[in-house]
Amino acid sequence: MADGAGSGRSRLSALPNDLLRHIVTFLPVMEAARAATLGRGWRHLWRSYPLVLKDADIPERARDAAIPRVLADHPGHFRAVILYDCRLASLDRELPAWPRLLVDKRTEKLVLAYSWVVNQPNPGRLLPADILRCDSLQELTLDFWTFPSGAEVVLPRLRILAMVRIGISEQELESLIAASPVLESLRLTLNSPKHVRLRSQSLQCALVGLSRVEEFTLVDTPLLERLYLFLPPTGVVGFRIACAPNLQVLGYLDTRAHKLQIGNSVIGQTQW
């Protein structure tokens, strides 16, 4: 048995590094870390491949200890950090500089969410300002946070942004989108602004769902192709389209809940 196990390890270690690296990137983070014990070559791969950390891959009872340790110990850059059950108490205690570490490690995809917090009004906990200066981010999902007032935003590579239950002002939302010059996809769900004025020279798809928005205006979105509207929790949402010459799909329009104005034409129960 021991000889067979050793032989298997030898055969694995004989594979080209590119193939080994490909194998490791598909392993859950705990399994990838264990693979480092197979041999010297595997230890090198674990330390060199971009980190993909998903809290769902870690047993719940071990997450408080494991997540800070993995973030602190991995020397390479972070491809994805996905925390749907965000354990900030343990992160703050064990790794106080975790927001800055995400910046320094050139994180490409980041999810910070409280999946276990339901039916809670805004605001959530204050979002660390460093997150908004992570200029390597390409995808960002935030759930149940308060936007830090006056924070500098530098997101030059951000292509996908999802915001759920975020306490943010109308001006802060406009500034966030303006600081994301290659943004392609935007999701807004249950956020706090009542008025949203959307300007983006790159945006191609927007989803506005179950939001507190009372008025949503496409001020200048020349590349927008798809806009999906979902029913508001209460009341009627007004949608104005001032400039969206490429718009091809307007999904889930319900004239009982949406009032749509395109130029001087109004679709809905009443005029504004």
Per residue in 52-76, pLDDT (tens digit) is 899 998 888 999 998 999 899 888 8
Rounded average pLDDT over 82-91: 89
Band of pLDDT at residue 190, cut at 50, 70 and 90: confident
Handedness of CA 30, 157, 168, 258 (dihedral sign): negative
CB atoms < 10 A from the CB of 81, how many? Answer: 23
Rounded average pLDDT over 136-153: 95
> What's the pLDDT at 157?
98
* Three-class DSSP category at 244: coil
Asked if pLDDT for residue 270 goes beyond 60, the answer is no
Kind of pairing, strands 258-262 and 265-267? antiparallel
> What's the pLDDT at 272?
42
Q: What is the CA radius of gyration of the chain?
A: 22
**Which amino acid is present at 60?**
E
Percent of the chain's residues with pLDDT above 90: 50
More confident site: 41 or 141: 141
| Contact in structure between 181 and 201 (CB atoms under 8 Å) | yes
Asked if pLDDT for residue 271 goes beyond 50, the answer is no
> What's the pLDDT at 5?
46
- Of 5-14, 121-130, 134-143, the one with minimum mean pLDDT is 5-14
Q: Give the separation between CA 69 and CA 76, rounded to whole angstroms.
A: 14
Q: Nearest-5° angle of CA 54, CA 137, CA 41?
A: 55
Asked if pLDDT for residue 138 goes beyond 70, the answer is yes
Asked if pLDDT for residue 264 goes beyond 80, the answer is no
| 146-187 pLDDT per residue, tens | 999 999 999 999 999 999 999 999 999 999 999 999 999 999
Tokens for 259? 């009032």
- Which among 195, 196, 260, 185 is positioned nearest to 223, based on CA atoms? 185
Q: Where are the alpha helices (DSSP H) in 40-190?
A: 40-48, 63-73, 88-94, 98-104, 170-178
**Which amino acid is present at 81?**
V
- Which among 85, 132, 129, 138 is positioned nearest to 107, based on CA atoms? 138
With left for phi above 0 and alpha for psi between -120 and 50, is residue 127 left, alpha or beta?
beta
* Angle between helices 17-25 and 40-48 in degrees, nearest 10: 60
DSSP 11-42: HHHTS-HHHHHHHHHTS-HHHHHHHGGG-HHH
| 97-119 pLDDT per residue, tens | 999 999 999 999 999 998 766 66
pTM of the complete model:
0.83
Rounded average pLDDT over 202-206: 97
Asked if pLDDT for residue 188 goes beyond 70, the answer is yes
| 27-36 pLDDT per residue, tens | 666 666 555 5
Mean pLDDT of the chain: 82
> What's the pLDDT at 6?
47
> What's the pLDDT at 21?
60
